[in-house]
């Protein structure tokens, strides 16, 4: 099954656009986990098991594991998600971007070593830097398009002289068209700029959009959903990390994560109901 098909099945089954981002910061872990050798794995599986029925995907951020020498715990975490929660796609947030021979190694890392269903990539090095990932037909690649940080405008918002498009619009158009011959691509578009999200959706009507920035980064749920929904009333993977992970800092962290994830899922669902009917 392709990544996009798996994602569509997950949207249908969960009736949720929520993706929980797994950015484990040991400094913010509950006291009872601090110092345990597998604290990262225990924290993340606690979050995963408490929220798996509420989400369309999980998104571990590899930097948090790499900084802690916790690659083995990342392997175990993704294996845990596949074993206990089959059908919930795992997007490894790694934002890789390199030439072909090196990209082959990164593709082996994310798909063979970690068993991720999809990976985030940077488009800066162009189409051939994506091709090694597309050699895995059942996996997906989600390209940075318009990011939610302040510096996201530095290059992404520059206008292109050829046709007046902005750089992120060019990325969206390439990913909707010539780069997506195999149907394996998605786009990362931050939630902080709903008008630009709407523009990306117009340029890429059928491409899954990974939308970080809900919760701690302050994106507005209703405006985000209104801007990014596809014609089928889905098409978005709306990611929340810190607001869910650190909802409580004690032994109740998983229950608190479930409560916040439920509220976010419900708010997203209500927004879908409002905006899907107006199309």
- Contact string 165-194 vs a copy of itself (x = CB under 8 A): --x--xx--x--------------------
What is the C-alpha to C-alpha distance for residues 85 and 219, in angstroms, rounded to an integer?
A: 28
CA-based nearest residue to 5, from 105, 87, 103, 108: 87
Told to check if 134 binds a copy of itself by CB under 8 A, we report no
Q: Per CB under 8 A, which of residues 89..118 are in contact with a copy of itself?
A: 93, 95-103, 105-106, 108-109, 112-113
CB 200 within 8 A of CB 170: no
Q: Is 250 exposed, middle or buried (0-12, 13-18, 19+ CB in 10 A)?
A: exposed
Task: Single out the residue of 32, 84, 135, 149 in contact with a copy of itself (rule: CB under 8 A).
Answer: 149
Told to check if 156 binds a copy of itself by CB under 8 A, we report yes
Told to check if 129 binds a copy of itself by CB under 8 A, we report yes
Task: Single out the residue of 150, 195, 250, 279 in contact with a copy of itself (rule: CB under 8 A).
Answer: 150
**In degrees to the nearest 10, what's the CA dihedral of 186, 187, 191, 194?**
-110
What is the C-alpha to C-alpha distance for residues 77 and 46, in angstroms, rounded to an integer?
A: 10
Q: Write down the least CB distance from residue 12 to a copy of itself, Å.
A: 31
Q: Per CB under 8 A, which of residues 210..269 are in contact with a copy of itself?
A: none
Task: Single out the residue of 148, 192, 224, 264 in contact with a copy of itself (rule: CB under 8 A).
Answer: 148
Q: At what angle do helices 194-203 and 167-176 cross, to 10 degrees?
A: 40
What is the C-alpha to C-alpha distance for residues 75 and 23, in angstroms, rounded to an integer?
A: 15
- Residue positions annotated with a catalytic role: 95
Chain Cα centroid distance, residue 2: 17
Candidates 40-48, 51-59, 164-172, 252-260 — which segment interacts with a copy of itself by CB under 8 A? 164-172
Q: Write down the least CB distance from residue 122 to a copy of itself, Å.
A: 5
């Amino acid at each position: 099954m392709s990544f996009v098909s798996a994602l569509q099945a997950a949207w249908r089954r969960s009736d949720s656009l929520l993706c929980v981002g797994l950015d484990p910061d040991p400094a913010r872990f509950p006291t009872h986990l601090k110092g345990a050798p597998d604290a990262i794995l225990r924290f993340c599986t606690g979050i995963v098991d408490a929220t798996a029925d509420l989400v369309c995907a999980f998104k571990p951020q590899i930097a948090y594991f790499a900084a802690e020498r916790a690659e083995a715990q990342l392997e175990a975490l993704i294996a845990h998600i596949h074993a206990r929660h089959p059908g919930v796609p795992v997007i490894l947030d790694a934002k890789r971007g390199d030439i072909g021979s090196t990209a082959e190694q990164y593709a082996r890392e994310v798909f063979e070593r970690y068993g991720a269903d999809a990976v985030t990539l940077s488009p800066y090095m162009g189409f051939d830097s994506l091709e090694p990932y597309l050699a895995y037909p059942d996996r997906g690649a989600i390209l940075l398009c318009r990011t939610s940080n302040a510096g996201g405008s530095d290059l992404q918002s520059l206008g292109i002289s050829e046709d007046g498009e902005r750089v992120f619009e060019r990325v969206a158009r390439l990913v909707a068209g010539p780069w997506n011959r195999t149907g394996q691509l998605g786009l990362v578009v931050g939630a902080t700029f709903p008008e630009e999200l709407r523009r990306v959706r117009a340029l890429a009507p059928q491409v899954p959009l990974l939308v970080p920035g809900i919760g701690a980064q302050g994106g507005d749920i209703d405006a985000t959903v209104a801007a990014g929904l596809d014609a089928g009333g889905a098409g978005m993977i709306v990611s929340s990390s810190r607001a869910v992970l650190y909802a409580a800092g004690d032994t109740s962290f998983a229950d608190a994560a479930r409560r916040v994830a439920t509220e976010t899922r419900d708010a997203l669902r209500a927004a879908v109901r409002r905006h899907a009917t107006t199309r």
